[in-house]
Structure 1
Amino acid sequence: MATRKTLLSMAADSWPVAKDELLRHVEDVVEVRRVGEESAVLEAERTGVRDLALLARRVPLVFPRHLTDVVAEYDHAAEGLEAVVDLVDSALREQAVGDEVSLQIWLSGKTSYKFSQQDAWAGASRVLSERGYSVTRAGGSVVVSVCFTPKTAIVGVNRVSDSLSSWPGGEVRLSKSPEQVSRAEFKLEELFKVFPIDEGIDPKGAALDYGAAPGGWTRILAGRGYRTTAVDPGDLDARVLELPGVVHVRTTAGNFLRESDERFDLIVNDMKMSPDRSSRLMVDSARLLKSFGVAVTTLKTGSHRVLEQIDEAFAILGAEYDIEFARQLRHNRNEITVVLRRFG
């Protein structure tokens, strides 16, 4: 029986739990094998890239960052760059995808090939253009992925909507700005790029940031137009305090929750606490959210009993929220980012 293969990316440190998660939720698995530092191939009897994308959207799967439907795998050291282009061209013709494609080339682990990632993209793009394709880095409805691993190169073709991320391998690259006050900003900034958390809420509305100091997430929210209440007994960066609409309340999250009767469009929480405590705080905070308001929290699982901690946290959160999105983003470290929508 012919099987289906899907290439997926995940954090290198999360490989064991990512594999366990796939084995738990994909019933027809034949094999899950690691092919690179941050990549694996799932082989299944029937489950393909669209099925896995649906599982990720329904939030049984939180560790895959990028998916692609494998159409070819070969020894890149023996074949060279020309073989990449020929395989991509053949795959496109077999898939009958039309003449407009996004081309993504990414690396997973140390490789021995003798051309750069940029050389590979430029060479493949040039030849595909000569053969009648309109090639972009992003924006097309169909994406061609070429992943170089230590032993093989893997070519995938599928719809962008099934890829989970429009970035090659799900590797969202963000640059530090002069205004940045903390590394934690990258997590919220990445979330805004990969999931439309503003949909259905007032982008000029009121936001609450628990554990705000030194003010990174508050800065991101204020920059998007939210009137932001920053709750933390510690100090905020002076530049954040000067931003329009920012109010610093010097207290703990628990004290604020007990004493406040304000209503917010968005509540965010990146505090260092166990997933069950973080989840209970968000459930208790639901009364501060407007109907269908949005909450964002990071669940800091560490590296032990990860899936069990996530299960427990989701069960707690389900008392007040729909879980709209949950994923280990590139800028997460031993944690996942969760987007919640309060029941109406």
Structure 2
Amino acid sequence: MGEESAIVETGKSTARDLAELVERVPMVFPRHLTNVVAEFDHANAGLDSVIDLVDAAVRELGGRELGPESEISLQIWLSGKVSYKFSRHDAWERAAEVLSGRGYRVTRAGSAVVVSICFTPKSAIVGVNRVADSLSSWPGGEVRLSKTPDQVSRAEFKLEELFKVFPIEDGGDALDFGAAPGGWTRILAGRGFRTTAVDPGDLDPRVLRLPGVVHERTTAGNFVRSGKGRFDLIVNDMKMSPDRSSRLMCDGAALLKPFGLAITTLKTGTHHVLSQLDEAFEILGSEYDIEFARQLRHNRNEVTVVLRRFG
């Protein structure tokens, strides 16, 4: 398998069962799921063999997942360092040709059912399942965002990706801990939040000019102790250990309205990741329900967590 992929063998469970478990527990590392219907060693074979496998897998499924004349999203992605003699574009075109020949309408996204091909260093893995059970509608869960002229920092991608996979209602009063230079504040303001940006450092002048943005030039701890305001949403992307970040969010819970939401990134690094997450979740559980926790594509060595304050 590749660096970011794995096959889980079960008795009777499906991607739907695992998706429900991922959301309920939560499990932080899965970003995309599919029901594997075939695996093929492509190290010594060309594109024709892989496409024949796709054809056989779809033909075998028949009407179990794919009804006659269904619309299908065809997704292809790579996992790990992959070297082969055909491009991903070529693979998509040939697989789409086969599926179209069997009467299916093939799209890149937007259909209820997805046929997946994941190329790893040694094999091609074919999967078929409902997009609703995939955790992400993007191939392999690799949400790709483009930089805009207004972007203040690359950290914005993390919040943008979160809003794509975990929609949050726009508008209200938001508090941004450690806001400088203002990337997350800019995203929140763009979604209609009146945002208090807390940071002793400077914000980008473009952010300060946005409607509803107020800069409190102080530390997060001092602002919490001041007890100013009540907020619908608190966000925190500060660089600190997961336990410290979690304790800050618990202290800040007093500034949230009942059932208000909080978003924080837990920066675990690469060592003792699971034990750090266990400790952080235990701390956060004293003030919040954990509604979502996942290592997003733009996270690198951290986990994004969405919390809801107890009523």
TM, length-normalised to structure 2? 0.94
- State the number of aligned residues: 306
Q: Root-mean-square deviation (CA), in Å?
A: 1.5
Asked if the contact 1:197–1:339 (Cα under 8 Å) also holds between the matched residues in 2, the reply is: no
Q: 2:153 & 2:259 partners in 1: Cα distance?
A: 30
Aligned position for 1:65: 31
Question: Does 2:216 match 1:286?
Answer: no
- Where structure 2 has 5 or more consecutive residues not aligned to the other structure, the ranges are none
Task: Supply the AA of the counterpart residue of 1:237.
Answer: D
Asked if the contact 2:26–2:292 (Cα under 8 Å) also holds between the matched residues in 1, the reply is: no
Deviates more, 1:213-222 or 1:313-322: 313-322
Give how far 1:82 is off. 2.8
Within the candidate set 194, 197, 208, 1:227 is matched to: 194
Aligned position for 2:156: 185
Q: Deviations over 1:317-336 (max 9, x none)?
A: 11221111100011112110
Give how far 1:242 is off. 0.7
Question: Does 2:119 match 1:152?
Answer: no
Aligned position for 1:313: 280
Deviates more, 1:207-216 or 1:300-309: 300-309
Q: 1:137 & 1:40 partners in 2: Cα distance?
A: 23
Q: 1:170 & 1:334 partners in 2: Cα distance?
A: 16
Asked if the contact 1:108–1:149 (Cα under 8 Å) also holds between the matched residues in 2, the reply is: yes
Give how far 1:64 is off. 1.3
Give how far 1:227 is off. 0.8
Alignment of 1:1-344 (within 5 A): 35-95=1-61, 96=63, 97-98=66-67, 99-198=70-169, 203-344=170-311
Partner SS for 2:135: coil
Task: Supply the AA of the counterpart residue of 1:45.
Answer: G
Q: 2:85 & 2:43 partners in 1: Cα distance?
A: 8
Give how far 1:196 is off. 1.0
TM, length-normalised to structure 1? 0.85
Q: 1:69 & 1:80 partners in 2: Cα distance?
A: 24
Give how far 1:279 is off. 1.0
Identity of aligned residues (%): 77
Q: 1:231 & 1:311 partners in 2: Cα distance?
A: 28
- Where structure 1 has 5 or more consecutive residues not aligned to the other structure, the ranges are 1-34
Q: 1:233 & 1:114 partners in 2: Cα distance?
A: 53
Q: 2:97 & 2:11 partners in 1: Cα distance?
A: 36
Partner SS for 1:41: coil
Give how far 1:52 is off. 2.0
Q: 1:248 & 1:218 partners in 2: Cα distance?
A: 10
Aligned position for 1:14: none
Partner SS for 1:66: coil
Give how far 1:110 is off. 2.6
